[in-house]
Amino acid sequence: MEGLLAQAKKVAAEAEVFVVSIEETSVEFEANRLKHIQSKETTTVALRLIRQGRIGYAVSTRLEDRHKLVKIAAETAQFGMLARFHFPHRTTYPQVEVFDPGVESIAIAEMIRLGEGLIASVTRHTPDIVCEAGVTKAVTSVRILNSEGGQATYRQSTFGLGIRGNLIYDTDMLFVGDIEISGHPLPESGVVAGRVIQQLELAKNQASLTTRKLLVIFTPRGVASTLISPLMAAFNGKIVQEGASPIGSKLGQQVFSKKLNLADDPKLAYRPQSRPFDDEGVPSQHTPLIQGGAVMGFLYDLQTAALANTQSTASGSRSGGGLPAPAPSAFVIAQGDTTFDEMVQDIKEGLVIEALMGAEQGNILSGVFSGNVLLGYKVESGKIVGRVKDTMVSGDIYRLLNEIIAVGSDARWVGGHLKTPSLYCPGLSVASKK
Amino acid sequence: MPTKEIAQELAETLKGFDADYIEAHLEETETSHLTYRGKELESIGRSSSVGGNIRALVKGGWGFVSFNHLDELRGKVELAVREARLAGNEKSRLAEVEPVVDIVPGGADKNPASIPLAEKKKLLDEYNEIVWRTPKLQTSIITYGDGHKKTIFLNSEGSYIEQERADITLRLHAIATEGSDVQQAGLSIGSRGDFEVISGLHQQIQEKVEHAVALLKAPQVKGGEYTVVLDPVLAGVFVHEAFGHLSESDFIYENDRLYQIMTLGREFGLRELNIIDNPTLSGLRGSYKYDDEGVSATKTYLIWEGKLVGRLHSRETAAKMKEEPTGNARAVNYHYPPIVRMTNTYIESGRASFDDMIGDIKEGIYAKNWYGGTTSMEMFTFSAAEAYMIRRGRIAEAIRPVVLTGNVFTTLKNIDAIANDLDMNQGGGCGKGEQVPLPVSNGSPHIRIRRCLVGGK
């Protein structure tokens, strides 16, 4: 890394080398049986430089490609954006616990046992179900070195356990599933199995909806599949900077229900999105985004922050191997005090959404969505009576989140990016096939 | 050491292991990209990547090892075999194919990496200029990406195949705003490395940009069932999403109940309906000579005269279902093992004209272009990027983009007219599991669907 940086400094005023290496092992089950064991090693080397005031960039899989990286980065700098920032100096980083050596040492046999246990629990409940499951462990190493003296490194462990089940009767198909991800090894599969079994229980009967405007409860998975993509876009500093975020001009204003609180938090211990610094070497911070329904801030990387005359929120992310861009680490919606059962009991006729398909396909910036209920249940007189099918719902996330009736006391992680409780909202439009 | 020599050495190594089957992929990729966000060129970069993988089969279990470093490959083969042994506990089954030794020239594909960045930038500058001339347009994102890939495939049966492919995509999102209302329109075009294909789009881009602005005034349709006419682009997405994925045998081969639904001979639609997957067409983004298991590409009829007649296979799914391999095992890159994928998938032209099709529609929707689509096998949703009301047999006012959804089986049966104007769309990238975006193309003539569920107010 030092060699590459030294060479880059010869052609550029400032330079930065970013290296990420991932070692991943996964055990995968198909049709209820063990099918694949996979090991993947990936290295990405990115050189970013500022040459004659402009940003140049090159990526490779090999540190040895020194000459090529410098040549390409210098070439692209002829056309690159004007740099409005300097690479960060050496600094101190917050203590964020993200590495558990226990993940690295967990044996493949143990991962197989976990996956088999998970499938056994689900098939014991519903013998006809066909499941795909995966158990994955990974260790990621991140290193940053820049010409301004900045240098930083961390290792991170992640362990994931997921299952997707498919149950078919004639041409009727039911899809259930869940996932759990942690920075620690997961000792058992009971939590994930329990959630899937609950989905199977609730979906046992079928029910049809009659009303066109309904009260709706989004479970944590429902929140993830319906409401989060538009919010992630709306709080992205780059989209705000471009004037394309519907809340971009509403800093400090009450836009959402007073019951809603949202923050971006990369400092939670042993979470897969946590880290001591972002992909530009800026120390991680907790960033409040919504407090009591008011817009509190947006997410920025160095360049976007400079353009917007503000500070980076340590949200520079290089997913996909490109230049850093603002992205959330983990969205955390604060939990409320209403239990899921209390929400259900409150509803005369309504809908519980566990998974919505297609909501992210539309115009996510506007907040208006339509989707097909992949897994959802009808509520009738305070009870879940069965699964709904052939049902399309549409709504506006800004209206839904402004009119929240209750926030659940059941906050949990959905994958790595989101921790959320159930949300109970009015006014979802429903179109069902007769 | 050059990748070619490494591959030849590896061919020897593969022979000495106690496994039912072993294959290796080695890959060298060059890519470049330019992204405009707003007025400025936001990102420009080039990347190069070298990597490979080893896949081993022992007693029906697969081991897979991927890597960026091409040294100590023997150790990686050992690891893959060890993993396969841990996973396997039945009989390995792979459809028999003749070993192939072939070096496929990259001739048909131009290498877009050889076009200077300045030239690519000049074209995007012109497009961006069009965007910024348009009033009320808030911002736009224009993304250009190209790639050139050389792959070497070899296996323990003696196959050795070198292939090259090039790929170009251009995507435009135009974003118009008024108050807190945000509307978008876009364009997505791809080619097999031919820069010309994305060069003359000035007029089209002008139209898309104007459409984004026009949407600010457009009403949202009332949700419900409509007679819907799909343009070739959206119908192509429909055939890919709603039917194509169901034809992928890896979903079917170990799922008895799905197998019963997908029984060959089952009637899916009207007699005029023919659906085909064809990687042998020249110059399309889903085209190739050999798939990533070294199996020759073949044209596969999925539906013929409305009846299910075929499906897409890897060597394993073909053997397990006792059908012929079709050469549809593809991997998005060396980080992943090949799985059953589509290539160029389309509905064949019918006889109706577009005017006939809309002529007797009192109130319906004409849906064009796409944002995206997804499927859960039985149910699908796909989003049109542009939509218009059809009133009394004519195209009427523009409406906001619609999401269409339905049950695959009923919707295919509800197709009641197929036009004579097949067109292939090269802008798509297909996702399955983590493997995205895989270059594919979709196509269709205009089609009409009765009683299609549309999301709305």
**A423 or B105, greater pLDDT:** A423
Q: Is residue B111 over pLDDT 70?
A: yes
- Taking residues B69-94, what's their average pLDDT? 95
pLDDT in tens, A362-400: 678 889 888 889 999 999 999 999 999 878 888 999 999
Interface test with B, best of A18, A137, A361 (most B CBs within 10 A): A361
Give chain B's radius of gyration (CA, Å): 23
**B257 or A50, greater pLDDT:** A50
Q: Is residue A361 over pLDDT 80?
A: no
- Residue B96 exposed, middle or buried by CB count within 10 Å (0-12, 13-18, 19+): exposed
Say what the pLDDT of residue A14 is: 98
pLDDT in tens, B224-281: 899 999 999 999 989 998 899 999 999 888 888 889 889 999 999 999 999 999 999 9
- Taking residues B296-310, what's their average pLDDT? 97
- Taking residues A403-413, what's their average pLDDT? 98
pLDDT confidence tier of residue B108, bands split at 50, 70 and 90: low
The hierarchical CATH code for the domain A2-199 is 3.30.2290.10
Which residues of chain B neighbour A394 with C-beta distances below 8 Å? Answer: 223, 403, 455-457
Q: Rounded to a whole number, what is the distance in Å from the CA of B282 to chain A's nearest CA?
A: 30
Between the alpha carbon of residue A292 and those of residues A261, A262, A268, A329, B161, the distances in Å are 6, 9, 22, 21, 61
Say what the pLDDT of residue B114 is: 82
Inter-chain contact B118–A59, Cβ cutoff 8 Å?
no
Say what the pLDDT of residue B136 is: 83
Average pLDDT of every residue of chain A: 94
- Taking residues A227-252, what's their average pLDDT? 94
Inter-chain contact B64–A39, Cβ cutoff 8 Å?
yes
Terminal-residue alpha carbon distance, chain A: 63
Inter-chain contact B406–A112, Cβ cutoff 8 Å?
no
Q: Is residue A272 over pLDDT 70?
A: yes
- Taking residues A128-151, what's their average pLDDT? 97
Say what the pLDDT of residue B94 is: 97
Distance of CA B138 to the CA centre of its chain: 30
pLDDT confidence tier of residue B359, bands split at 50, 70 and 90: very high
Which candidate from B67, B381, B401 shows the least CB-CB separation from A358?
A: B381
Tokens of A268: 């939670």
**Least confident among A138-142, A207-211, B204-208:** A207-211
Say what the pLDDT of residue A368 is: 87
Which candidate from A82, A322, A365 shows the least CB-CB separation from B182?
A: A365
Tell me which residue has tokens 């709504």.
A395
- The residue extents of the domains of chain B are 3-215, 224-454
Q: Is residue B183 over pLDDT 90?
A: no
Between the alpha carbon of residue B48 and those of residues A57, B115, B192, B220, the distances in Å are 12, 16, 19, 45
Inter-chain contact A61–B48, Cβ cutoff 8 Å?
yes
- Taking residues A292-304, what's their average pLDDT? 98
Q: Is some CB atom of chain A closer than 8 A to the CB atom of B114? A: no
pLDDT in tens, B38-55: 888 888 888 999 999 999
Tell me how many residue pairs between chain A and chain B have CB atoms under 8 A apart: 241
Q: Is some CB atom of chain A closer than 8 A to the CB atom of B59? A: no
Search chain A and give the residue with CA nearest B64: A38
Which residues of chain B neighbour A229 with C-beta distances below 8 Å? Answer: none
pLDDT in tens, A141-198: 999 999 999 999 999 999 999 999 999 887 788 999 999 999 999 999 999 999 999 9
Which residues of chain B neighbour A368 with C-beta distances below 8 Å? Answer: 220, 400
Q: Rounded to a whole number, what is the distance in Å from the CA of B275 to chain A's nearest CA?
A: 20
Which candidate from B41, B79, B379 shows the least CB-CB separation from A39?
A: B79
Inter-chain contact A244–B182, Cβ cutoff 8 Å?
yes
Between the alpha carbon of residue B426 and those of residues A39, B167, B170, B406, B447, the distances in Å are 33, 10, 10, 25, 19
- List strands edge to edge, sheet with A262-264: A294-295, A287-291, A262-264, A331-333, A418-420, A412-414
Which residues of chain A neighbour B34 with C-beta distances below 8 Å? Answer: 79
Q: Is residue B1 over pLDDT 70?
A: no
Say what the pLDDT of residue B107 is: 59
Say what the pLDDT of residue A320 is: 65
Say what the pLDDT of residue B145 is: 94
The residue count for chain A: 434
Q: Is some CB atom of chain A closer than 8 A to the CB atom of B372? A: yes
Say what the pLDDT of residue B439 is: 92
* B3-215 is classed CATH 1.10.1200.10: no
ipTM, interface predicted TM-score of the complex: 0.91
Q: Is some CB atom of chain B closer than 8 A to the CB atom of A429? A: yes
Q: Is some CB atom of chain B closer than 8 A to the CB atom of A323? A: yes
B-contacting residues in A 329-368 (Cβ below 8 Å) = 357-358, 360-363, 365-366, 368
Q: Is residue B109 over pLDDT 70?
A: no
Search chain B and give the residue with CA nearest A395: B457
